[in-house]
Amino acid sequence: MVKKNIKRFSIMIVTLFFMGLAGLFYGLIEINDNYVKDKNELAILKKDLKETRTSIELKDLKLTNYDFMEYKINAFSTRYPVYSNILDSVYTKSLEYKFKPELVLSIIQVESNFNPKAISYRGAYGLMQINLAVWEDELRIERDRVFDIGYNIDLGLQVLKIYYDESKGDLKRAIHLYNNGYKYNNLKYVKQIDSTLMSFTPFHAGQKTIASPN
């Protein structure tokens, strides 16, 4: 009887030992799986952190560039307030009429060399040389505002748009008419505009605009 009890006890001990060993083995497997999982998650977090840091550095650089550009713009506006006003008006008005700003700047340079008070012997006034004899009634021009920068540019773009529509989208023809009307035939004018246009940095915007006589 005693021998049977010892045998049963031995079997129970051995069974418990192997059960414990099996539990320990599965525990080690689980610990290893968790370790690999945590290690992979940590690697992903490190990668995300590195990308975030890179993104932050790039944004900081952009902000620095913006700050520098704002500084340059403010300095430029202080040193050249009239030209800065012209640029602001050209940018706003040209997009309103769907012409690219650099095209409008090139017309202004050829027409008046950026002189808001320019007057031609033909009776054309201001930056875009608005001919009052031709356009005063049709555009209901206010004579006392003809030298105002924004107003004069707006008038010029109205005229250019009229000629552009009459020319059915032929920009070369529209620019030729802008300078010559239907009476004169200055063939060099479009070439002057085209040549001057090349000196301006190309403008990029999402809005579709009319750019060049080419």
Query: pLDDT in tens for each of the 214 residues of the chain?
Result: 655 556 665 666 666 555 665 666 676 677 777 777 777 777 787 787 787 787 787 777 777 777 777 777 788 788 888 999 999 999 999 999 999 899 999 899 989 999 999 999 888 999 999 999 999 999 999 999 999 999 999 999 999 999 999 989 888 888 888 887 666 566 666 666 666 655 554 444 444 555 555 4
CB-based contact 94:103 (threshold 8 Å): yes
Nearest CA to 131 out of 154, 156, 106 is that of 156
Q: Residue 164 CB: number of other CB atoms within 10 A?
A: 22
- The structure's pTM equals 0.63
Helix (H, G, I), strand (E, B) or coil at 41: helix
